[in-house]
Amino acid sequence: MPAASIGWLVLAGVAAPAALFGLLGGASVLNRPLPERWTSRLTAVAMLTACSALGAAFVVSGATLTAPQLLTYGAWSEPGEGGVAIQFLVDGRSLAFGALSAAIAGVVGAFSNRYLHRESGYNRYFVLLAMFVTGMLFVALAGNVEVLFIGWEFIGLSSALLVAFFHERPAPVSNALRVFSVYRISDAAMLSAAVLLHHAAGSDSLALLTGARTSAAGLTQTSATVIALLLIVAVAGKSALLPFSGWLPRAMEGPTPSSAVYYGALSIHAGCFLLLRAAPLFEHALAARILVGALGAATAIFAAIATRVQSDVKSSLAYAALTQVGLIVVEIAIGWYTIAFVHLAGHACFRLLQFLSAPNVLHDLHGMENDRPLPSRGVRPGGSPGVVRQRLYLFALERGFLDPLLDRGIVEAFANVARRLTRFDAWLCGVLMPAPARAGVDRAEVRDD
Amino acid sequence: MTDARLWLAGIAALPCVVIVASYFRVDVERLRRAAVVSAAGTLLLTIVVGASPGLRAFSVHTTALGWTPGGEALVRVNALSAALLPFAAALWLLTVAVTPRAMLARDGLRRTALATLVTLASFLTESAVVLLLLSAASVWIFVAALGDPAHRRQRRVVALYLGGSTLVFAAGVALLVSPGVTGTWAEAAAMWLIVISVMVRKGIVPCHAWLPEAFDRGRLGPAILFSAPQIGAYITVVLIVPRASPDLLRTIAVLALGTAVYGAALALVQTSARRACGYLFISQSALVMAGLDCTSVSALTGALVVWLSAGLAFAGLARCVLVLEARRGRLDLSTYHGGYDRMPVLAISFLLMGLACTGFPGTIGFVGQELLVDGAVDAFPVLGFAIVAASALTGLAVLRMYFSLFCGRPEPAAHFGLRLGLTRREAWTFVALVIALVGLGIAPGPLVHSRFAASREILQVRGATVTVKPAPSAGQAVRRMDPSPRLRRAPLPARSATVLSRRSPPRRSVAGGRQGRAARA
């Protein structure tokens, strides 16, 4: 009986934001957006429902369940044979994170209602917020890798579209593309891990990762390590760990409430939560565990340095959040899972408050931006040598030179090869056929049917 | 109304009405209305035919066009064509409903109806000779659409590639229908010739160069209508998959997987929206081809679903580009065009159709790509991940196009004051397409189930065909045609068995395939 009630509560918790997403999204597709008043009320009701239902499920499961329980709600497509089954894996941690996500989204929704009042993209914002919460709950409660992947994709796309929220300016749009490109790397790694898990273990259930079934399910040391490495790439992309940290300040182009909920509170922690879920897998892959610990430590140090020189408050807060994310990852690598989870939840709430109050602080202090002078050369009494400080300052100011590194190492190399291949294709047609009799005639011609 | 012949006659008659009407002096806008009504009627009829089990078992066999034992199905409706017929009709409806007024022409509407008729006929036959004739007809229609002097160069390129492909196809069919060809080198040669022809038609690397050129500098409308139905994929299913050796199928699949990544990567760096569409199509088309040649139920089902989802989504995406071009001229992706606030429906439709192309969750493409990845990794443990890479790159390319075409500028000053919004007909067509793509993504069960049935039929035919071959050693022959372990586990649905046993001669029956498996066991 308690299991059945938990099943219904979880279903209600996930269905509420999903229904909100469907409703607001459907209205947008039909170009009939709901009035602001209705949108805000529906958002509040959906988030309240999700938070209450998942909170109640958390209480019931804490009182009755002794082990994680897999809830199955049928199959999305064909059962078996590669079909997508709708499964949620519930335990105290997943339900708590789900309830926390819904609560934070509810707070942000209430804040955004006033913050974005009469903004032209008001409805678009709430559609994407509902999509994000649905994705977060899928990630928090996922019982198999397909459900996890769906949530992962929802978070990624909504994040990129919210970075480009002020779409009439080119900078947010180009930054959104940048953010999305890192997310696609993360998505590809996640999907690859899912497929490998399916083929190595014969099942894509996340119970393989979260319980003692890891070794029993046929995962060898090698396959566990490869899957863990792919998960690390997925987590690094989503949580802005090194070397993918460059997208984080770019993502601050979106409206402040979205920055708060994504890069202060929830999205940036989604990777940490995935690591927590997959912790038993990492226990079977020592190399991957060491790597993830090192990545977390390096990210924490880098972000702690970078946050000190940021000239705008949102970037500064984002790097401060990244410092804590790095520490949480280190805690997970060490094996302090409970501490890591408490750290994660506390940090999400604290950083959310900081982000949401940032506009007010800016308004009160007026001249807060660009207030950091370049350090002078020479040795300060009791400080580091001037050259070291100068270099560290430059390193922090340039955000670790990560963007040029990725640009030159990957983006430009890829673009150059692709452009050469394009030219080759065009040349192939040019060789076969002579140039047109009238130059430029086909370029101007657009007649079509 | 249980006679399939009547329904098929109705399906064929509606495009014919438009073709005939186009020869009269009817106002072009009225002719378009007639075409929209005919296309909607055709869509309705094809859905009824596809959804009725009684009508789906229809076939007409002949021995006049080849030496295959028992003859070939000149006309037949089965699980495969049950979804392909509405697909072709939907493409026609999309084309005639959203063609901008300035680009509307009587000969264009006639050509569109004719192309649809050819596509519908192609999806209704499994005769190699008939497929050759219809393939030649579709190429002729496409080349004829490039008849004006402005497209002379593209016409030559297309004629060279597709004309050559048709000739190669003809040589392959000639070998295939020769007497006593089964199990000889001639059959292998025929297979290779048909494969080359299909690769050219579908733009598989290295036979792809014509496709971006045709999309970019040719006429986009005819290019969409020629490419999106993917008759090459149908030829693969009907002629290649049942007969080709596993080595040949693996070769095609590997080339197709490489092409999927190649097309997606090149789509990402294009500066022309049309050319980006061309490369996107190459990538999607290659994904379908890869799945068809993996010969596992999962991959084949995924390919059949992606065939429909990517075909519709891609056609919608390219049509959005055309609609935008009608308002802005050529679209350069190296800059931002803005305009989201003026055309939110078009922008949202473009994004959702693009996401359906990439297999985003919540669209029908997601289910197809999940199945495809699963099956492809089964067949190619390393290369199968090319699908993941292609999907990631395609998603990025689509979002880049979306941002460039609809964001980044407040309002283009050059067009200020012009009415840029969609007409009601255009808006409803795009919205209906989006609803179909998302609706099937949220409730994919019936479609996926029917594609599973179709893929099992295809693989059963493949197993049965090969077990009757006079191979040097019986054991070898059976081993060559080993279906995937998933197929062995999957029970044959009763309906599929009925269809097969009714339309197939005894030596190509299901029993043949089962005997083969029993022998192997």
ipTM of the shown complex = 0.90
Q: What are the phi and psi torsion angles at A87 (to 5°)?
A: -130, 140
Q: Which amino acid is at A418?
A: A
Distance from CA of B338 to the nearest CA of A (A): 7
Q: Which amino acid is at B331?
A: L
**Residue B332, helix vs strand vs coil:** strand
Cα–Cα distance for residue pair A226/B229, rounded to 1 Å: 39
Give the model's pLDDT for residue B370: 85
Asked if the model's pLDDT at residue B482 lies above 50, the reply is no
Q: Using a CB-CB distance cutoff of 8 angstroms, which residues of chain A are in contact with residue B157?
A: 429, 432-433
| Average pLDDT of the residues in B202-218 | 88
Cα–Cα distance for residue pair A298/A295, rounded to 1 Å: 5
Give the model's pLDDT for residue B54: 77
CA B516 from centroid of its chain's CA atoms: 32
**Residue B61, helix vs strand vs coil:** strand
Give the model's pLDDT for residue A437: 44
Closest chain B residue to the Cα of A77, Cα to Cα: B445
Q: What are the phi and psi torsion angles at A19 (to 5°)?
A: -65, -40
Q: Which of B132, B111, B115, B101 is nearest to B426 (CA)?
A: B101
What global pTM score does this model have? 0.88
Q: Using a CB-CB distance cutoff of 8 angstroms, which residues of chain B are in contact with residue A160?
A: 399
Q: Using a CB-CB distance cutoff of 8 angstroms, which residues of chain A are in contact with residue B434?
A: 29
What is the dihedral sign for C-alpha A248, A249, A255, A261? Answer: positive
> Taking a contact as any Cβ pair under 8 Å apart, which residues of chain B between 354 and 373 contact chain A?
355, 360-362, 366-367, 370-371, 373
Mapped to the 3 state alphabet, what secondary structure does chain A carry? CHHHHHHHHHHHHHHHHHHHHHHHHHHHHCCCCCCHHHHHHHHHHHHHHHHHHHHHHHHHHHHHCCCCEEEEEEECCCCCCCCCEEEEEECHHHHHHHHHHHHHHHHHHHHHHHHCCCCCCHHHHHHHHHHHHHHHHHHHHECEHHHHHHHHHHHHHHHHHHHCCCCCCHHHHHHHHHHHHHHHHHHHHHHHHHHHHHHHHCCCECHHHHCCHHHHCCCCHHHHHHHHHHHHHHHHHHHCCCCCCCHHHHHHHCCHHHHHHHHHHCHHHHHHHHHHHCHHHHHCCHHHHHHHHHHHHHHHHHHHHHHCCCCCHHHHHHHHHHHHHHHHHHHHHHCCHHHHHHHHHHHHHHHHHHHHHHHHHHHHHCCCCCCCCCCCCCCCCCCCCHHHHHHHHHHHHCHHHHHHHHHHHHHHHHHHHHHHHHHHHHHHHHHHCCCCCCCCHHHHCCCCC
Give the highest mean pLDDT range of A70-74, A180-184, B66-70: A180-184
User: Cβ(A340)–Cβ(A326) under 8 Å?
Assistant: no
Distance from CA of A195 to the nearest CA of B (A): 7
Ranking A331-335, B224-228, B408-412, B433-437 by mean pLDDT, the lowest is B408-412
Asked if the model's pLDDT at residue B308 lies above 60, the reply is yes
Q: Which amino acid is at B92?
A: W
Ranking A16-20, A236-240, B287-291, B338-342 by mean pLDDT, the lowest is B338-342
B322 touches chain A (CB under 8 A): yes
Give the highest mean pLDDT range of A401-405, B305-309, B510-514: B305-309
B248 touches chain A (CB under 8 A): no
**Residue B59, helix vs strand vs coil:** strand
| Average pLDDT of the residues in B48-62 | 78
Ranking A135-149, A331-345, B375-389 by mean pLDDT, the lowest is B375-389
Residues 6+ positions from B322 with CB-CB distance below 8 Å:
A448, B98, B99, B100, B103, B220, B221
Given pLDDT bands bounded at 50, 70 and 90, which one contains residue B446? Answer: confident
Asked if the model's pLDDT at residue B486 lies above 70, the reply is no
Give the model's pLDDT for residue B276: 93
User: Cβ(B237)–Cβ(B292) under 8 Å?
Assistant: yes
Q: What are the phi and psi torsion angles at A310 (to 5°)?
A: -65, 140
Cα–Cα distance for residue pair B117/B106, rounded to 1 Å: 17
Closest chain B residue to the Cα of A177, Cα to Cα: B400
| Average pLDDT of the residues in A406-424 | 86
Largest Cα–Cα distance in chain B? 77
Given pLDDT bands bounded at 50, 70 and 90, which one contains residue B448? Answer: confident
Distance from CA of A153 to the nearest CA of B (A): 7
A412 touches chain B (CB under 8 A): no
Asked if the model's pLDDT at residue B416 lies above 70, the reply is no
> Taking a contact as any Cβ pair under 8 Å apart, which residues of chain A between 101 and 130 contact chain B?
120
Given pLDDT bands bounded at 50, 70 and 90, which one contains residue B513? Answer: very low
Please count the CA atoms within 13 angstroms of the CA of B469 that sit on its side-chain side.
29
For A170, which of B269, B406, B408 is closest by C-beta distance?
B408
Residue linked to tokens 């940490």: A272
Number of C-beta neighbours around residue A184 at 10 A: 23
B387 touches chain A (CB under 8 A): no
User: Cβ(B118)–Cβ(B42) under 8 Å?
Assistant: no
Distance from CA of B220 to the nearest CA of A (A): 7
Give the model's pLDDT for residue B437: 93
pLDDT above 70 coverage of chain A, percent:
85
Of B3 and A243, more confident:
A243
Cα–Cα distance for residue pair B468/B430, rounded to 1 Å: 48
Residues 6+ positions from A261 with CB-CB distance below 8 Å:
A104, A105, A108, A129, A132, A267, A352
Average pLDDT of chain B, as a whole number: 82
Given pLDDT bands bounded at 50, 70 and 90, which one contains residue A41? Answer: very high
Q: Which of B405, B404, B399 is nearest to B358 (CA)?
A: B399
Asked if the model's pLDDT at residue A9 lies above 50, the reply is yes
Angle, vertex CA B478, rays to CA B477 and CA B479, nearest 5: 90
Given pLDDT bands bounded at 50, 70 and 90, which one contains residue B447? Answer: confident
Give the model's pLDDT for residue B425: 87
Question: If you write DSSP's letter for every residue of B85-121 in order, what string do you get?
Answer: HHHHHHHHHHHHHHS-GGG--HHHHHHHHHHHHHHHH
Closest chain A residue to the Cα of B96, Cα to Cα: A449
Asked if the model's pLDDT at residue A53 lies above 60, the reply is yes
Distance from CA of B193 to the nearest CA of A (A): 22
> Taking a contact as any Cβ pair under 8 Å apart, which residues of chain A between 127 and 146 contact chain B?
146
| Average pLDDT of the residues in A74-79 | 64
Asked if the model's pLDDT at residue A274 lies above 50, the reply is yes
Q: Which amino acid is at A428?
A: L
